[in-house]
């Protein structure tokens, strides 16, 4: 959920989404969901002539699983908070695992 | 809260271009969707592109499984007029062009693969996204 | 006491990544890509955010003098980058 929450803080900002097939799309982040699917507004395509099918598209939905990188606006990223949240989430993840293990042990008894 | 599929609600009943992982492009009216980004497209055409040429084939109603979707793009009528610069050819013709292009790309990849292997490097194809 | 243990020791692979927060790491990616950058965030899928990233891509190009195909490295710099975890092969500290 860390990155989902993070992306929500970037709504309205300009990002560049680089896909695994090398297509790069720059646009304003409109919305994001827990799969990190992304919706962009007012898009621009790098190397437009290579992707004629994107010419008539202004807004688009990008499936999270085809994303390679997202270039972020550095000035809008608070790295301190990110690091804290990463540690917090790691800790919560461990707690969840321990709880699940305990439950499994109990149910197998 | 938009649960899954980043809220495709705005796109319902709009004309979309759907790009699939194998590179195919479908254009149609999206009638409904779910949290997996499965969608129903009506009055669908498949559009094939090659350089400055394109061709269409009418296909009717489609269910598209969300996993295969790369991009859903809303067709903007204002921007669509830009696309008119492309030249329409017959379906058979565009398939011939694509076949030639594909062969060329495959040859380039083969060469790349060989040179990379000689330098002790691996090579991942980007011809389609089927690996992901 | 238990908190100290949590912060300092490595019990599972992801712990080592936690300890590398705010440090520069090397990431090898699919499609012959390599990244160097400072780690600021990660999750259990190995999605990450790196800053001051240098990406190296290997491409095959014709050498202009010998006319032979050779492998070249292309570098680019990115200020702040999100990396999707499914493309990660390995991380080096």
Using pLDDT thresholds of 50, 70 and 90, give the confidence band for residue B125.
low
User: Is residue C80 a contact partner of residue C12, using CB atoms and an 8 Å limit?
Assistant: no
How many Å apart are CA B110 and CA C31, to the nearest integer?
15
Q: What is the mean pLDDT of residues B111-124?
A: 80
Could you read off the pLDDT of B72-104 as tens digits, one per residue?
999 998 887 766 688 999 999 999 999 999 999
Question: Does C61 contact B at CB distance below 8 Å?
Answer: no
Walking along chain A (109 residues) 10 residues at a time, the average pLDDT comes out as 96 97 96 95 92 92 96 97 96 90 86
Question: Does B5 contact A at CB distance below 8 Å?
Answer: yes
Could you read off the pLDDT of B39-67 as tens digits, one per residue?
999 999 999 999 889 999 999 999 999 99
- How confident is the model at residue C69, as a pLDDT? 84
Where in chain A are the domains?
Answer: 2-74, 78-109
Closest by alpha carbon to A51, among B51, B70, B122?
Answer: B51
Instruction: Write the CA distances from C72 to B127, C34, C75, integer angstroms.
Output: 20, 13, 10
Measured in angstroms, the CA of B118 and the nearest CA of chain C are apart by 9
How many Å apart are CA C89 and CA C28, to the nearest integer?
6
What is the assigned CATH class of domain C20-92?
Answer: mainly beta
How many Å apart are CA A33 and CA A42, to the nearest integer?
19
**DSSP code per residue over A2-57:** HHHHHHHTTTTSEEEEEETTS-EEEEEEEEE-TT--EEEEEEEETTGGG-GGGTTE
- CB within 8 Å: C69 and B132: no
Partner chains of A (3+ C-beta pairs under 8 Å): B, C
How many Å apart are CA B98 and CA B93, to the nearest integer?
9
Using pLDDT thresholds of 50, 70 and 90, give the confidence band for residue B5.
low
Which residues on chain A are in Cβ contact (under 8 Å) with B54?
Answer: 52
- How confident is the model at residue B126, as a pLDDT? 55
Q: CB atoms < 10 A from the CB of A18, how many?
A: 20
User: Is residue C38 a contact partner of residue C13, using CB atoms and an 8 Å limit?
Assistant: no
Backbone angles phi, psi at A75, to 5 degrees: -70, -15
- How confident is the model at residue C2, as a pLDDT? 46
Where in chain C are the domains?
Answer: 20-92
pLDDT at residue B1 tops 50: no
Question: Does A1 contact B at CB distance below 8 Å?
Answer: no
Which residues on chain A are in Cβ contact (under 8 Å) with C87?
Answer: 20, 68
Beta bridge partners of A28: A14, A41
Measured in angstroms, the CA of A46 and the nearest CA of chain B are apart by 16
Closest Cβ–Cβ partner in B111, B123, B132 for C32: B123
How many Å apart are CA B122 and CA B113, to the nearest integer?
7
Question: Does C79 contact B at CB distance below 8 Å?
Answer: no
Is domain A2-74 classified as CATH 2.30.30.100? yes
How many Å apart are CA C79 and CA C93, to the nearest integer?
20
Q: Which of B7-16, C7-16, C54-63, C79-88 has the lowest mean pLDDT?
A: C7-16
Q: Which residues of B touch C (CB under 8 A)?
A: 111-112, 115-116, 119, 121-124, 126, 132
Instruction: Write the CA distances from B117 to B110, B131, C1, C88, integer angstroms.
Output: 10, 20, 52, 21
Closest Cβ–Cβ partner in B115, B124, B132 for C60: B115
**Which chain A residue shows the shortest CA-CA distance from C20?**
A83
- CB within 8 Å: B86 and A52: yes
Measured in angstroms, the CA of C88 and the nearest CA of chain A are apart by 10
pLDDT at residue B2 tops 50: no
Which residues on chain C are in Cβ contact (under 8 Å) with B70?
Answer: none
Q: Is the ipTM of this complex over 0.95?
A: no
């Amino acid at each position: 959920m860390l990155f989902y929450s993070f992306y929500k803080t970037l709504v309205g900002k300009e990002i560049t989404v680089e896909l695994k097939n090398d297509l790069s799309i720059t646009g304003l982040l409109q919305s994001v969901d827990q799969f990190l699917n992304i919706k962009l507004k007012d898009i621009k395509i790098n190397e437009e002539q290579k992707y004629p099918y994107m010419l008539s598209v202004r807004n688009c939905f990008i499936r999270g699983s085809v994303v390679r990188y997202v270039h972020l606006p550095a000035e809008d990223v608070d790295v301190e908070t990110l690091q804290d949240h990463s540690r917090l989430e790691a800790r919560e993840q461990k707690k969840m695992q321990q709880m699940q293990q305990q439950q499994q042990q109990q149910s197998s008894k | 809260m938009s649960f899954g599929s980043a809220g495709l609600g705005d796109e319902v009943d709009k004309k979309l271009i759907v790009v699939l992982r194998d590179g195919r492009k479908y254009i149609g009216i999206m009638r409904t969707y779910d949290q997996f980004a499965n969608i129903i497209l009506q009055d669908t055409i498949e559009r094939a592109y090659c350089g400055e040429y394109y061709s269409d084939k009418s296909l009717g109603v489609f269910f598209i499984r969300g996993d295969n979707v790369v991009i859903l793009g809303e067709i903007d009528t204002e921007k669509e007029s830009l696309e008119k610069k492309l030249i329409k050819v017959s379906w058979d013709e565009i398939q011939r062009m694509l076949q030639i292009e594909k062969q060329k790309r495959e040859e380039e990849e083969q060469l790349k693969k060989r040179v990379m292997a000689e330098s002790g490097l691996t090579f991942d194809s980007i011809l389609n996204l089927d690996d992901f | 006491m238990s908190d100290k243990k949590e912060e300092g020791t490595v019990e599972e692979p992801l712990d080592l990544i936690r300890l590398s927060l705010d440090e520069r790491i090397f990431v090898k990616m699919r499609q012959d890509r390599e990244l160097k950058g400072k780690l600021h965030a990660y999750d259990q899928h190995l999605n990450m955010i790196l800053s001051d990233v240098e990406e190296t891509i290997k491409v095959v190009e014709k050498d202009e003098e010998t006319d032979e195909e050779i492998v070249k490295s292309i570098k680019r710099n990115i200020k702040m980058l999100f990396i999707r975890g499914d493309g990660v092969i390995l991380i080096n500290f």
